[in-house]
Amino acid sequence: MSSRTPLMAGNWKMNLNHLEAIAHVQKLAFALADKDFEAVEVAVLTPYTDLRSVQTLVDGDKLKIKYGAQDISAYDSGAYTGEISGPMLAKLKCTYVTVGHSERRQYHGEDEAVCNAKVKAAYRHGLTPILCVGEGLEVRKAGNQVAHTLAQLDGGLKDVTAEQAATIVIAYEPVWAIGTGEVATPDDAQEVCHAIRVRLAELYSEEVAAAVRIQYGGSVKSGNVAAIMAQSDVDGALVGGAALDIDEFVKIVRFRD
């Protein structure tokens, strides 16, 4: 069994205002009160407008739930209207920030250079990037999922040091499985997650590859999480829709119970 602590992260996308966020995190914390957070890490990735409320709650009640943002500017400050910077997220004590989610790539044209700049911006400010990679349906049908995903990995990690890379989280999210209800089979998830780990060993070292947590994301639910988590190279789940349903998300976090 791997020594990596599973990371179960809820990506709320553009859902839950700051009041709803408080209620949601309170309910989550209550439902997970007996959970050993050393054995499984739980994070919520919220809209920017929720972060301050979540921070206050987590700090005030000493909750073990971690939190973070869904995007970060590549720049640290300046005339970038609408952007949120690494220093701002660090000041809110965010732990994580997703980079290159497929919805950012699709709707905001984020390419490898942008994702790479955002990964570096996260590291400049002590944030842990969750770098999202994964193929679309056409690529999967052509059988090119590994090559496609590894090219995204290579691009996202350009000039990232071994010390930094050892702490990154990679989320393998086949685009055809996101929000569609069509989950990858455990073997499909393992194939690409394993290829990612092999590539990390090639790019850095066996030690770095062994340290990095690789999540699967794409229609994870309470009914399929255990089979996916049983794969040797899957170290967690990035959960979208099901993260908005407290009961479902709690069951996902409790995949071992």
Catalytic residue of the set 24, 101, 112, 248: 101
Report residue 7: phi and psi, to 5°: -115, 115
Are residues 175 and 135 in contact, defined by beta-carbon separation less than 8 angstroms?
yes
CA separation for the pair 234, 215 (Å, rounded): 6
Is residue 21 a contact point for ligand PEP (CB under 6 A)? no
Is residue 173 part of the annotated active site? The answer reads: yes
C-beta of 100 vs 218, nearer to ligand PEP: 218
Closest CA to 108 of 77, 76, 87, 132: 132
Burial of 79 (0-12, 13-18, 19+ CB in 10 A): exposed
**The only residue of 218, 228, 246, 249 in contact with ligand PEP, by rule CB under 6 A:** 218
CA 58 – CA 167 distance, rounded (Å): 23
Options 43, 105, 240, 249; binder of ligand PEP; rule CB under 6 A: 240
CA distances from residue 48 to 199, 210, 238 in whole angstroms, order as listed: 33, 32, 18
Query: What backbone torsions phi and psi does residue 41 show, to the nearest 5 degrees?
Result: -95, 140
Q: Which of the ranges 72-80, 87-95, 202-210, 239-247 carries the binding residues for ligand PEP, by CB under 6 A?
A: 239-247
Strand partners, 217: 238
**Contacts (CB under 6 A) with ligand PEP, residues 38-77:** none
Q: Determine if residue 219 is labeled as part of a ligand binding site.
A: yes
**C-beta closer to ligand PEP: residue 13 or 194:** 13
Stretch that binds ligand PEP, among 75-83, 136-144, 152-160, 236-244 (CB under 6 A): 236-244
**Does 186 interact with ligand PEP (rule: CB under 6 A)?**
no
Catalytic residue of the set 110, 112, 173, 248:
173
Stretch in the footprint of ligand PEP (CB under 6 A) among 87-95, 172-180, 200-208, 247-255? 172-180
Is 222 annotated as a binding-site member?
no
Q: Rank residues 106 and 232 by Cβ distance to ligand PEP and give the closer one.
A: 106
Answer whether 69's CB lies under 8 Å from 98's CB: yes
Residues 108-147 that bind ligand PEP (CB under 6 A): none
Query: Do residues 137 and 176 make contact, with C-beta atoms less than 8 angstroms apart?
Result: yes
Which candidate, 113, 198, 194, places its Cα nearest to that of 159?
Answer: 113
State the binding site for substrate. Answer: 11-13, 179, 219, 240-241
Residues that bind ligand PEP (CB under 6 A): 11, 13, 173, 178-179, 217-220, 238-242
State the binding site. Answer: 11-13, 179, 219, 240-241
Catalytically active residues are 101, 173
